[in-house]
Amino acid sequence: MCVTHEGLYCSLPDFGYESGIWHGFGTRELSLSVLEGESSRRGLRTVSLVQEHSDTVHRLADHPPGPLTGDALVTNLPGILLVIRTADCLPVLISGSKGAVLAAVHCGWRGTNLGIVHKVVRILRDEFGCGASGLRAVLGPCIASSCYEVGGDVRRAFAGRGHPPDLFRPIQEVPGKYLFDLRAANQYQLCEAGLEDDNIFSISGCTHCEKNLYSYRREAHKAGRLLNFIGRCP
Ligand SMILES: [Zn+2]
C-alpha cells in the first residue's frame, strides 16, 4: 500500500524496507527546490539527467561535476539521490543487495522499446554483483493503457523485439490505433531479466486522469515534470 507524505510524494513501505533507503514518487506539489531541501536534511545530494528517451545508463562512482544526458542512473554510493523526471512516462526504482545498490530508470515507449529496464538489471547483476533473487523494483504512476493511444508505428517497433503482442489492444472505432500498456511492458522486462514476481511492486494511478500528477498528453508543453527519487542516506 502506498503512503502519501504531506501531499508531496508517495512511497511504498514494502519496497523500501531497508534501513536508510529513501524513495518516492512526487506529485505536482513536489518542486525540485523542496526535494533538494529535504534531501540535504537527510545528507543526500540530488543527481538528475537531461533525459532523451534513450537506453543510456550512467553508473555513478561519485557525484558528477556536470549535467549527464541519459535515462537511467545506478549507484552503490550512499549520499546520492537519483532523480528521474516524468510526465506520463513510467519511473522505475530498483534496489539490489539489500539496498546497497540502487537504480532509477525513465521508461517512455522509446526507452522501453530499447529495453532500458532489462539493460539496467543486467548491469546490476553483471557489474554490481546483485543477485537476481534480491532485486526489488517498484513502478510508479504513469499513463494507464486505457488512456495511452498510439499508432501502428509504435506497435511495429515492439513487434520485432519479442514483447508479447497483448501489450497492444486495437481501438475498434479508430482503425490503425492501439492502446498500449507501458506498465505491463516493463513488468514483462523485469520478469525476463530475472526478478521474482513477488519483488515487483506497482503504484497504480494514471497520470493522465489524476489532476495532482503531470501529464504530457493532457497538458502538452504546459506540463511540468514529476520528480521520482531513490537514495541511501549516509
Ligand atoms: Zn487515465
Whole-number percent of the chain with pLDDT over 90: 88
Nearest to 69 by CA among 45, 46, 53: 53
**How confident is residue 165, by pLDDT bands cut at 50, 70 and 90?**
confident
Distance 206 CA to ligand 1 centre (A): 5
Distance 212 CA to ligand 1 centre (A): 12
Distance 145 CA to ligand 1 centre (A): 7
Is the pLDDT at 1 greater than 90? The verdict is no
pTM of the model: 0.97
Nearest to 124 by CA among 114, 113, 137: 137
Q: For residue 62, what pLDDT is reported?
A: 86
Q: Are 123 and 135 in contact (CB under 8 A)?
A: no
Distance 129 CA to ligand 1 centre (A): 38
- For the stretch 29-79, pLDDT in tens is 999 999 999 999 999 999 999 999 999 999 998 888 889 999 999 999 999
**Domains of the chain: which residue ranges?**
3-144+200-232
CATH (residue range 3-144+200-232): 3.60.140.10
Nearest to 126 by CA among 74, 162, 163, 90: 74
Q: For residue 114, what pLDDT is reported?
A: 96
The neighbourhood of ligand 1, an ion, using CB within 5 A, equals: 144, 147, 206, 208-209
Distance 216 CA to ligand 1 centre (A): 12
Distance 209 CA to ligand 1 centre (A): 4
Q: For 8-13, which contacts have Cβ atoms below 8 Å and span 24 or more sequence positions? A: 8/34, 9/227, 9/229, 10/203, 12/138, 12/201, 12/203
What single DSSP character describes residue 120? H
What single DSSP character describes residue 89? S
Q: For residue 158, what pLDDT is reported?
A: 93
Is the pLDDT at 16 greater than 80? The verdict is no
